[in-house]
Amino acid sequence: MEAFLLYILKSSILLAIFYLVYYVLLRKNTFFTVNRHFLLTGILLSLVLPFVEFTFITFIDQPDIYLIASKQNSPINELSTKVNWWLIGFITYLLGVLVFSIRFAIQLISLFKLIQNHNYTQETKFKFVQVQEDISPFSFFNYIVYNPKLHSSQELSMILKHEKIHVTQNHTLDIIITNLFLIFQWINPIVWFYKKSTEQNLEFIADRETINQVNSKKEYFMTLVSVSSNNYSTITNNFYQSLIKKRIVMLNKQNSQKKQLWKIAIVIPLLSLFLWSFNTNEIVKIKENNTTTSSNATKGDKKIVKFKITKSSSKKDLNRIKDTFKDEYDVDIKFSNIQRNTNNEIIGIMVNVSSKKSNANYSLQNESPIQSFVILYNSKTHGISIGQSDHINSISIREKGKDQILEVHSDNNKQEYIVSNNNGSKTVKIKDKDGKIIREEVHGPEEGYFKINTKDKKTYAFFNGGAKKDPLFFIDGKESSKEEMENLDTENIESMNVYKGKKAEKKYGKKGENGVIEVKTKK
């Protein structure tokens, strides 16, 4: 759905390029047949070029890798209901296509009925249909329809010559193609002008050819002015078209010099710019050499993959990390809520990482640029760690059976917090690096760890800054206790926000100095 609407957008841009070149450079020239081919080519390429993509490979050095945890580590999982604008846009587009398709079908049916209800006489390839209706002469494929009672014999002779040009050069195909394309791109305002220009140019062609076959140019002009303006259908070639003055001006215009044809080539660099801007894919591959910092660090028999994110990380840098984790390790990373200052430095970012057996969330929101942090993945245990680079430690969350494990690493130490849920109560066992239980039956580490589990997904909030006091809790805008938070029916949790530091104090004053957790429940 999104891909199709993006295709429509690209197709609309391409059509606009051709129309711009025609309107600015070609429409006042007398190369009418060349213009006809140019306009038809514009429709064809606007349908095809969006599918043409160019791919190039960029080799980069291995990123610097560090693993660390943060005082501001605030993993959250936020669920929200959003309006699906893509779906609304797609449905609106389809409704428009349906309306204009019905309109086109009605025009075709009424046209066929008119032709079938009257006899015709055939002269070589031309089929002349004489009608009684008060309509302007028109042609449709090999049929030329007219009311002989409405015109003098001299006028009728010139009119039929004009319509024979339409038939001989198959102008009806151009009309059908532009009408079908209008249905396909009705939402694009340019297509309406494009259709009108195509029809006018066909009249210019027929006028120029007819002038060469009549005795008096002046009499032909008079015929253009005197013929009734009761057109029958927009899907036929009518002898009478609006803007008669413009047709007469073009007939009196001297033939353009052939050197003016160079203007057509202007479309080539514009198309190249489009393809470069919208249809170019970059594949990033990491160089394999011994001069760059490796992204794989071995600790015993554990293979550690680490990537560093700084305040200056660009969108391309983040996509590179995302693609590398996905392609090489089947780890999904999502970067969202990215905020930048006027210097294009990151001041806010949310990271969601999930592997086969673990997941971790990380959020930073500051008024100043963020401190560098690192994403670490253990490809053996599938553990994930995220943290800032001014501390040599990390946090990893993974599942082990029914237990959930929080691992805290530092240079020479490791502590493992095993959180077991037994009949609704929480048992926390803290193990040291040798696997010895050093603490049991607590509800969080002394540093201030707090966690809420939901049924479908886990929502985590971490405060690892050595806080002695609990953060401030709010449920649906009402201040609540830690016990109320822990006893909350987790199936009803819709979203969770975490505020710390200056942001918490700015919103809640002095009482928010230890951090704030806001929980919104499902209604």
- List per-residue pLDDT tens for the chain, 523 residues long: 788 999 999 999 999 999 999 999 999 999 999 999 999 999 999 999 999 988 777 665 544 443 333 333 344 444 444 678 888 999 999 999 999 999 999 999 999 999 999 999 999 999 999 999 888 899 999 999 999 998 889 999 999 999 999 999 999 999 999 999 999 999 999 999 999 999 999 999 999 999 999 888 888 888 887 774 545 566 777 665 557 778 888 888 888 999 999 999 999 999 999 999 888 876 655 555 433 333 444 433 446 777 888 888 888 889 888 888 888 888 889 998 898 888 888 998 988 888 877 777 788 877 888 888 888 887 777 777 787 644 434 444 444 444 445 554 444 444 444 444 444 444 445 555 555 554 444 343 333 444 444 333 444 444 443 445 778 888 888 888 877 776 666 557 777 777 777 777 888 888 888 888 888 887 7
Distances (CA, A) of 76 to 64, 81, 125, 351: 26, 16, 75, 9
Residue 315 identity (one-letter amino acid): K
pLDDT of 396: 45
For residues 276 and 56, give the distance between their C-alpha atoms in angstroms, rounded to a whole number: 11
pLDDT of 158: 93
Pairing type for strands 138-140 and 237-238 reads antiparallel
Neighbour tally for 75: CB within 10 Å? 24
| DSSP 8-state secondary structure symbol assigned to residue 257 | P
pLDDT of 83: 76
pLDDT of 157: 92
For residues 74 and 471, give the distance between their C-alpha atoms in angstroms, rounded to a whole number: 12
pLDDT of 59: 64
Q: Minimal CA–CA distance to 63: which of 310, 267, 394?
A: 310
Per DSSP, the residues of 273-338 read HHHHHHSEEEEEEE---SSS--SEEEETTEEEEEEEE-TT--HHHHHHHHHHHHHHH--EEEEEEE
497-515 core/surface letters (b: 16 or more CB in 10 A; e: else): bbbbbebbbeebeeebbbb
Q: Minimal CA–CA distance to 73: which of 304, 328, 492, 353?
A: 353
Long-range CB contact pairs, 1-5, < 8 A, 24+: 1/86, 1/87, 1/90, 2/86, 4/90, 5/86, 5/89, 5/90, 5/93
Per DSSP, the residues of 408-437 read EEESS-EEEEEEEEETTEEEEEEE-TTS-E
pLDDT of 12: 96
For residues 238 and 113, give the distance between their C-alpha atoms in angstroms, rounded to a whole number: 18
pLDDT of 389: 46
Ordered strands of the 237-238 beta sheet: 120-123, 126-130, 143-146, 138-140, 237-238
Residue 135 identity (one-letter amino acid): I
Pairing type for strands 143-146 and 126-130 reads parallel
pLDDT of 411: 40
Q: Minimal CA–CA distance to 431: which of 442, 440, 441?
A: 440
pLDDT of 74: 41
pLDDT of 439: 46
